[in-house]
Structure 1
Amino acid sequence: MPPRADWAARPRYAVSDFATLLWRERYLMAAIFLIIFIVGVGAALTLKTTYPAQSSVLVRLGQEYVYEPRAGDAGRGAVLDSDQVIQSETAILGASQLKLRVVEKLGLSRTYPKLAAKYAAAGPEEKRKIMSSAVRSIESSLKIETAPQTPIIRVSFTHEDPEAAALILNTLLEEYLIYRRAVLSDPNSPALEQQRRNFETRLAQADAAYEDFLNNNRIGDFVAEKASLSQLQAQIEQQKYQTDAQLQDRIGRLATLSSQFGQIAPEVGLYRDVSSAPGEKLVALKIQREDLLSRYRADARPVQELDAQIAQLEAGIAAGRTLAEGARRFGVNPVYQTVQTEKIQLTAEVNALRQSQAELVSQIEQVTQRRLKFAELEPKFQELSLDRDVLQANVRDFSVKEEQSRAAQEIASRTNDNIRIVARATPPTKGKSLRKPAVILAFLFAGFTALSTGLLRMFMRPGLPTAQSASRTLDLPVLAAAPLKAR
């Protein structure tokens, strides 16, 4: 190979070289390990023991998660599923405002005594920051756990003081039950009341317009009067048809009577007398014969003459020769009088029916005009009525919603039926400390750092550190190696 003054080769290492090379850096590695390990142990010894208090909350579906629309019925009764309810309650339980209420209720002296000392000597701005620090401390120490399809929320809180841990956690849950009412309670009651009052004002205006409309048109009850006009017109028309029929009947009868009236004699014979003289004469002769028989025999001449007279008179009576008319009497014909009376009555009835017909026609015209007036006013009436009905329905609906919302708020302010604290926190007897994990972590970190430093130092040394490395690097056999002499 041609000689080169600037020739340099990159050392090649084997696994067997690492032990030898790292042993050369043992002092540096030991120093770095000891420094980091001692610092880590010192930091671990500063860690304090904390006591975790445990509690759990049972969450079920409540009335506050049932959808009640502000207006209408669309979607009424829709509910969230169990996971969404759990997430909602978890978000409320983790609210910062809730932690602040716990700190304000218990005070810094019972939650974080060290912060209480600073709080007493701090200004307004510093006090606000200290309170925020206490809230952040509670948030960092609070742990909320949930599981899918499980209505249980597990809550844990760690604190240096076991009594304080249980107290803070129990106070947090109590404040949570109160705070969630304010969050989930329907704040729409004032809005519903205001909206109801607006509708009542508009309803009063609509009522006034409705009353003015009726008064201006002289209408008491539009619907009732319209219906009565329809019935009245039907009755008048029916009466007119009956009057027309009666009028035609009377006119026909009057015409017939008028045609027959000229054929009837005004006078008629009432009776006549028939003469009874022949009969009386015959009776007188028979009486006379009987008288003669008392004095004469039957064959005596006077008796025979009387018998001849009696026989002759009887023969004349039998032959009708002795009949003669008596006195005759004439008077007004009753048929003529009846026909005349009926004609007069029919004439009066025809006149009366014609007047009734004219009056009915006039009444029908008046009713028709009134109905046309109602038909003209009906669109305005329907508009006013529709406005009143809608506003009345809205006032009624909002009154019901307002009362329901107020009742729901009153019930919610007194109870939390769907939330149960399964187990309240008790002061823990066994604490947790990170000292041992911190020491182990410091040991591992110190060892890793020392090893990394040794490897870095090993790779940064110039030259070929071992004969095996020189043989692999130069691809030449190494025949001998001499130890390094000290200067």
Structure 2
Amino acid sequence: MLSQHLENRRQSQSADQPDGSSGQQSHGVLFSSSVSAFTPRDLLILAFYHKRIILIVALLSIIAGLTAATYARTRYAAESLVMMMIDRAHAGISDVAGTLPSILSIDGLKSVDSEIRILESRRVIEDTLSALDPVTLFPEIARPRLFGLLPADSPQDQLEKAIDKFKRRLQVEQQSSSNIVRLSFSHEDPDLAADTVNALADAYLKRRRAIFDVPRSPFLASELARHSDQLKSIEGQIQALKSEYDIVDLGQESLLAANQVDSIVQRRRQTQERQAALQAEVTAAKKRLAALPERVFDFREQSNQTQNDDDRNVLLRLELERDRMASQFLPDYPPLQELERKIRTVRQSMKGGDKPVYNTTREVRNPSIPFLNNHLLTLEIEQDAVARQLDELNRQHTVAVEKVGRLRKAESELRDLERTRGVMEDIYRDYAQRTEAARAEEEAAKVRFSNVRVVQPAVAPATGTSMAPSFIIAGLVGGILLGGAAGVLATWLRQVYILPHEIERDLGVPAIASFSDTDGELVSPGAQQELIHLAAQLRDHGLDDQPMALIQFVTANDGDGDAIVARGLALEFAKGRGLRTLVIDLCGDGTGQLTAINAGADDKTDGEAAGEADSGAVERLPTIEPQGTGDLEALPSAVPLLWVSRQATGSALGSLRTPIAQSRQMLERLNQRFDIILILSPPIGNSHLARRLSPMVDANILVARAEHTRAPVAARMRDSILASGGDIVGLVLTGRHFHIPQVIYRWL
């Protein structure tokens, strides 16, 4: 059989393939095709396919650069010059007479470097920011973070950011071979830049005086700080004690706690009295209940009536029967006389006086017992509730007594702390007065001569520098790089096919034909040439000199173009090659296929085609059971030698209940009658029919739609056909788009 020849062909191909070849081609792919590497044209096609993403990313980068350039502010650098005068003490040379000039030595240069380090110190920068307000100098540090989603930084974090920004914008340089130091600070506001440099110089001078001046009141200041810390500690202890004992007003809370204890004691006494009363009531109820009799007399009855006494009923029935027979027979009729005797016997029995007399006496349960039981149950329930209430009152009394004890303890501790706080406040007040007096005396005694002079104060600069050109260049370069990266990422994430060789590379199945999205019913010259090429491949690659006759079109989704390709191929086989061709439509009733073929026929007019279709020329094709309901019917189309099935889905071939052997025999009979048979199966994901017929046909053609069929779906379609034992001749790509403009494409 033909399937055995195909299997032998696959085994021979598998034996001829070298190591590392595609395993798919050795297990059911009839044609092999070498996959070429990407060419510059393919890269250009991918770039035009993803041009929207590439342009969007590139434009975003360019827009970001332009936006940054728009918001880039011109910075103005204000400068100031400070002169460090080095005296004999720094140089290490003694001047006894005091007539030698000042000199600059290596030690003097080191002293200038030390002064620069003081200028750049954190303390000097903090003092400068305190004088200018960090938010005024850098407004961005007070704005909400993350586009307003997060609140602004805390004041401490704002200060840290301001110090970092200040250090980046500050430049302190020593002029070569001199004792002049240049201070420079850049800012968007020239006036603020000049004010910042002047404030920095003032802060530096103050810091320098604080470093070199000898304090005269260190002991008083330290003692004042120590007592201040002790006062704060005592205050914290008082607040912690109040929080621990939950105290607001100690006197008021003590009074409330005592009143609560007294109230609980009174309620507990009342509850105990009620408990004693309930105990007495329960005892009395139990005594009365035990003294009551269990049953009491209800009524008495005397009667001579006997149960089941049916004499009168029997007498009535006998008399009725006698009257009926007397109306129909003579008096000497034997059955009538028998009835008379029975009547006399019953009457004698009723006259008898030997019936017994019955006496009935009834006693009932004493009704007082349920009442006393209910009352006793109510008393016991109330007694249990009172006991629970008493337990709760005892617990509340314990808690209240504990609270009173805790308040007494807290009162003792609080009095000690308040006494200590009073003493510490007096000591702190005394030290504060003495410290201020000492500081006033030290300020009056200061006569130190400064050896640092500001020779040039900072003024507002007239010109500045801007980063806008740099941002624009960075946006352009970033747009090119990010656009290319976006195109590569989109290509890597894409799961649909746009080029035939992508199918060959991913699926290992050769792309034997491709049709563009503008071909329609494949009547254009280019589509016709592609159909001729496809038909030649199918007819020229036969097995053992037997061309392929049974071909199935397999698709994964509806609307992938398999019906259009099948119709175009059928027209090529029938008109171009003169082969008896049958199109079996297992996706519908065949009417749509016949109408499309008749509409596309160019050798007959519409009237002739309609007349032939309506003439009733229906050819019934034989099956294994021609007398059954599974026969396959075919209608001749307007094209000679071309038939289209009608209602094939209701035939034995389109039914999954038909045995495989019967379907195979049916296809063999159809193969004997037609030269080429094209089968349109339902999508493989919707029906098992395509997998069922795949090993029965000579070859299976996969159909995928460009930019529509996903790669995992196509792979599952291929694996399903191969797993079912079918042979794949190749894949036809439909709906292909040409993204490169024709002006550029002609040069590729």
TM-score by length of 2: 0.27
Which protein is bigger by CA-based radius of gyration?
1
More helix by share: 1
TM-score by length of 1: 0.39
